[in-house]
Amino acid sequence: MATMSSVNPATGEVLARFDELSDAELERKLARADETFRAWRRRPFAERAAHMTRAAEVLERKKEHWGRIMTSEMGKTLKSAIAEAEKCASACRFYAENAERFLADEELKSSATRSFVRYLPLGPVLAVMPWNFPFWQVFRFAAPALMAGNVGLLKHASNVPQCALAIEEIFREAGFPEGCFQTLLVGSSRVGRILEDDRVKAATLTGSEAAGASVASICGRVIKKTVLELGGSDPFVVMPSANLESAVKVAVAARTINNGQSCIAAKRFIVHDAVYDRFEQAFVERMQALRVGDPMAADTDVGPLVSPSERDKLVAQVEAAVKAGARVLCGGKPLPGKGAYYPPTVLAGVTPASPSYREEIFGPVAMIFRVKDVDAAIAVANDIPFGLGSSVWTNDPEERQRFMNDVEAGATFVNAMVASDPRLPFGGVKRSGYGRELARDGIREFVNVKTVSVYEEAPAAPKAE
């Protein structure tokens, strides 16, 4: 029987080991999901909402407990882990309050007496999720999916089994029927069989391009809907009219959020020539001043990377960039000792010939570019395979319009860092994936958009005797 290990990346200590599900256990869970769906889809919104509100309460009441599980398993700072539990609660409340309105029948004009669209649930949906926001990624799928009347099956990343089991526990404690949300402790090699099972109706994956392509190709073969939320290398553009002090402050937070391991972290800083020197100096100073260390400590800004292997990947990317001509302005070498620590790092002069120029860098390493005008800024911003978020700093109305229209991304935030928010749709273009999570768009991804047309016939005339 294969096992999964929970390892603390701050210390290398093995915290727990779990057996993967046997085939028989997996079969029981799939059968339970199917059976639960048949009843759950008929439950009124008010009943679903009552459970979802209780899930929010469980998250909030024990946020420190959930936070410690996240931090010990994947290394994010405890304060950010607690904030993550709170954010999950806000998504649960948002969908408890709005799902019914988002999925209300929509009347449309046609030649029928009455036509409308009714949004009906699909069934069990498989969610393949990453470790980096181990609660948030799951809740932003589960809250709308369950409110729509679907049931959820979670295949979480293999390095966060304790988070995966904790989330199942939260839904159980909130009173959801057992089959509404189930964690499947299985490795990625067993995802294909689950997707091919007729009882599973759709899939969502948040993770790398390779994983997304694999899930989408299997689902393509068996004609099942997918949503993919993949990687990003978001631009952060600073123009001369911006408030430079705020831009620098936010740039540091945007690059180092989640120890630098966020899909929507700003990764490429594209700065106009007129303010470049001042930006670079202040940015490097602030990056260097961040406190790297124990993620449980209240004053830590940046904890460890998720694993020694992810740290080694980062080391190789930085080395490759330097070999191709980049200059290291701060950081640039892993920290000695136990734990997968890597310091905040700034690279300048990364050329398009360097592999790192177009790759996602999943750690606290910023690349900084000098550009001469808005056209050049947009050209560099778009010169990557990804299109997730973008942050642009300008107080010039024309420049704002240019960025909104021409930056190839699923989101453009002006004078702010990109952040997901239950009230706003979230997703990407290009190789960052397709489909949307959150807001009304998110809950409408996993529904049958059923067209109903009703023709009222004139009552038959009474027969003449």
Is there a catalytic annotation at residue 229?
A: yes
- Supply the minimum distance, in Å, between the C-beta of residue 275 and ligand NAP: 29
Helical (H) or strand (E) element with 173: helix 161-173
Closest distance of CB 376 from ligand NAP, Å: 26
Query: How big is the site for ligand NAP, counted in residues (CB under 6 A)?
Result: 30
Instruction: Report helix angle 63-74 to 161-173, nearest 10.
Output: 160
CA pair distance 271, 273, nearest whole angstrom: 6
Per the DSSP assignment, residues forming a β-bridge with 152 are 125, 181
Asked if residues 273 and 370 have their Cβ atoms less than 8 Å apart, the reply is yes
90 vs 288, beta carbon nearer ligand NAP: 90
| Gyration radius of the chain's alpha carbons | 24
Q: Does residue 158 touch ligand NAP according to CB under 6 A?
A: yes
Question: Catalytic annotation on 457?
Answer: no
Which of residues 295 and 389 has its CB atom nearest to ligand NAP in the complex? Answer: 389
| Catalytic, out of 92, 163, 263, 330 | 263
Distance in angstroms (rounded) separating the CA atoms of residues 318 and 91: 37
Q: What are phi and psi of 15, to 5 degrees?
A: -90, -35
**Binds ligand NAP by CB under 6 A, chosen from 34, 229, 280, 408:** 229
The nearest distance, CB 394 to ligand NAP, in angstroms, is: 25
Residues 345-404 that bind ligand NAP (CB under 6 A): 360, 362, 388
Whole-number Å distance between alpha carbons of 60 and 66: 9
Where in 61-80 is the site for ligand NAP (CB under 6 A)? none
For ligand NAP, which is the closer residue by CB, 121 or 207?
207
Q: Which of 145, 215, 242, 384 binds ligand NAP (CB under 6 A)?
A: 215
Site mask for ligand NAP (CB under 6 A), range 110-129, x = bound: ------------------xx
- DSSP H/E element including 23: helix 23-40
Length, in residues, of the chain: 465
Instruction: Report which residue's Cβ sits closest to ligand NAP.
Output: 207
Question: With respect to ligand NAP, which residue has the nearer C-beta, 167 or 230?
Answer: 230
Q: Strands, E, within 263-412: which ranges?
A: 266-272, 327-330, 345-348, 365-371, 386-387, 391-393
Q: Is 162 in the site for ligand NAP (CB under 6 A)?
A: no
CB 261 → ligand NAP: shortest distance, Å? Answer: 7
* Among 11, 90, 115, 188, contact with ligand NAP (rule: CB under 6 A): 188
Among residues 9, 121, 207, 442, the one that binds ligand NAP under rule CB under 6 A: 207
Task: Give, for 83, the enclosing helix (H) or strand (E).
Answer: helix 78-102
- Rounded Cα distance between 127 and 154, Å, is 5
Q: Which residues are catalytic?
A: 229, 263
Q: Give the footprint of ligand NAP on this chain (CB under 6 A).
A: 128-132, 137, 155-158, 187-188, 191, 206-208, 211, 214-215, 229-232, 263, 360, 362, 388, 428, 432-433
